[in-house]
């Protein structure tokens, strides 16, 4: 961010702002790709990864619907104290069951809500959107819950630095000794508050009904509800709030696009506050959002693990191998996006995602389908 800010002043005299941050944050991917090709193996500690920067193979990974190609075990172990066995960490039939419950509740007709566009930060506003759309609550009413969630997130993020390095798990703090007890205590408070504010036809109601469904047996009804409620918040609030910040930065760096977006909003809204029915009419704004998500995707990697032997094109992936696709690299690949792949140019999306590049499946800012949680309009809207 500091590097980008330092180049903004130059951008106003005809030069482009640099968006090629991946070569600084993940320089080894560029080096290894040149040395070994777009598909290679590397390790983090004792965990082996198959890195795929080849767009054609990445497309096959995105289109793979097998339940045997799921979330990595090491990710589940690292985040389990925080997210339990929610849709964000589950695999196989348990994941399919949870997605069947949650996905239908994220269609646009289910999540249209009336929320004032004001507040101290994009994060608080995003909390309001998710709370109101999914649980009928609000940030102000659930402020204590969100503070607890941030505490839990900080605890787990510290543990994540030790993934794949044997022995480091024995170096702990008091928070690390009781992460599960902390999450359980916070989870009970969290769900009690949500149950008090739920409506008859919201996402929480669907989760409550799904917990008692005989289709897939759950270990604990309370845990099923707690884990998925926390999962919804973590999946939605930070990634979209961060994306909103990047969009504002890009508009500030490119005043010509800021003027175009503002003129469109004024024309569509006609002096009224914007609502959900107006968003589909804002084509210029949509183009800017998509281009921001391409340059600064919330999810840096697409992570999968072969839970059983998997075949992708000419690749035979043994059971237990982790597959990692650097989304940033794929979304800025000149072979896919053209010579101006690293330039902010929302016009590339003037005819939608399908015609924006040669392989539209590599546009996956929130990770890739079919395991993506939310409906596109909820994510991009």
Q: What is the tens place of the pLDDT at every residue in 310-329? A: 988 888 999 999 999 999 99
Convert the pLDDT of each residue in 147-171 to its tens digit. 666 676 666 665 554 455 555 554 5
Average pLDDT over residues 133-142: 59
Convert the pLDDT of each residue in 214-244 to its tens digit. 565 666 677 777 777 777 777 776 677 788 8
The pLDDT of residue 292 is 96
199: pLDDT confidence band, cut at 50, 70 and 90?
Answer: low
The pLDDT of residue 272 is 84
Average pLDDT over residues 26-33: 90
Closest to 119 measured CA to CA, from 83, 146, 88: 146
> How far separated are the first and last CA of the chain, in Å rounded?
24
143: enclosing H helix or E strand:
helix 143-160
In Å, what is the CA distance from 79 to each residue of 72, 157, 163, 234, 250?
11, 9, 11, 11, 32
Query: For residues 380 and 289, is the Cβ–Cβ distance under 8 A?
Result: yes
Average pLDDT over residues 52-65: 92
Query: For residues 128 and 119, is the Cβ–Cβ distance under 8 A?
Result: yes
Query: For residues 252 and 265, is the Cβ–Cβ distance under 8 A?
Result: no
Q: Is 89 helix (H, G, I), strand (E, B) or coil?
A: coil
Alpha carbons 297 and 380: distance in angstroms, whole number? 12
Is the CA virtual torsion 25, 28, 32, 35 positive or negative? Answer: positive
Q: Running DSSP on this structure, what letter comes out for residue 135?
A: I
**Residues paired with residue 11 on neighbouring β-strands, in sequence order:** none
Alpha carbons 38 and 31: distance in angstroms, whole number? 10
In CATH, which of 1.10.10.350, 1.10.3720.10, 1.10.630.10, 3.40.50.300 is domain 2-380? 1.10.630.10
Alpha carbons 337 and 156: distance in angstroms, whole number? 36
Average pLDDT over residues 92-99: 83
210: pLDDT confidence band, cut at 50, 70 and 90?
Answer: low
Query: For residues 61 and 302, is the Cβ–Cβ distance under 8 A?
Result: yes
β-pairing, 47-52 with 39-44? antiparallel
If one compares 285 and 17, the residue with the highest pLDDT of the two is 285
- The domain locations on the chain are 2-380
Least confident of 2-6, 27-31, 124-128, 316-320: 2-6
Q: Is 195 helix (H, G, I), strand (E, B) or coil?
A: helix
**Residues paired with residue 247 on neighbouring β-strands, in sequence order:** none
């Amino acid at each position: 961010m500091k590097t980008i800010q330092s180049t903004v002043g130059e951008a106003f005299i005809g030069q482009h702002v640099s968006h090629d941050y991946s070569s600084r944050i993940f320089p080894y991917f560029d080096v290894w790709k040149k040395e070994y090709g777009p598909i290679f193996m590397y390790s983090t500690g004792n965990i082996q990864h198959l890195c795929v920067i080849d767009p054609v193979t990445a497309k096959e990974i995105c289109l793979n619907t097998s339940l045997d190609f799921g979330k990595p075990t090491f990710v589940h172990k690292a985040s389990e104290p925080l997210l339990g066995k929610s849709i964000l960490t589950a695999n196989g039939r348990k994941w399919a069951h949870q997605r069947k419950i949650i996905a239908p509740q994220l269609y646009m007709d289910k999540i249209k809500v009336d929320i004032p566009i004001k507040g101290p930060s994009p994060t608080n506003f995003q909390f309001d959107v998710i709370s109101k759309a999914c649980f009928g609550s609000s940030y102000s009413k659930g402020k204590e819950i969100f503070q607890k969630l941030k505490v839990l997130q900080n605890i787990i993020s510290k543990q994540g630095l030790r993934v794949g390095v044997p022995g480091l798990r024995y170096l702990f703090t008091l928070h690390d000794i009781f992460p599960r007890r902390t999450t359980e205590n916070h989870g009970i408070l969290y769900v009690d508050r949500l149950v008090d504010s739920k409506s008859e036809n919201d996402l929480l109601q669907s989760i409550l009904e799904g917990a008692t469904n005989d289709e897939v047996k759950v270990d604990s009804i309370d845990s099923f509800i707690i884990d998925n409620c926390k999962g919804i918040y973590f999946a939605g609030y930070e990634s979209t709030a961060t994306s909103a910040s990047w969009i504002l930065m890009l508009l500030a760096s490119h005043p010509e696009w800021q003027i175009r977006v503002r003129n469109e909003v004024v024309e569509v809204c006609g002096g009224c506050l914007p609502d959900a029915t107006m968003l589909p009419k804002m084509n210029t704004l949509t183009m800017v959002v998509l281009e921001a998500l391409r340059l600064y995707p919330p999810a840096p990697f697409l992570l999968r693990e072969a839970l059983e032997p998997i075949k992708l094109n000419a690749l035979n992936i043994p059971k237990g191998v982790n597959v990692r696709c650097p989304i940033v690299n794929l979304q800025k690949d000149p072979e896919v996006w053209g010579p101006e792949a690293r330039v902010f140019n929302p016009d590339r999306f003037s005819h939608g995602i399908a015609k924006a590049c040669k392989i539209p499946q590599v546009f996956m800012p929130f990770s890739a389908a079919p395991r993506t949680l939310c409906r596109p309009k909820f994510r991009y809207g």
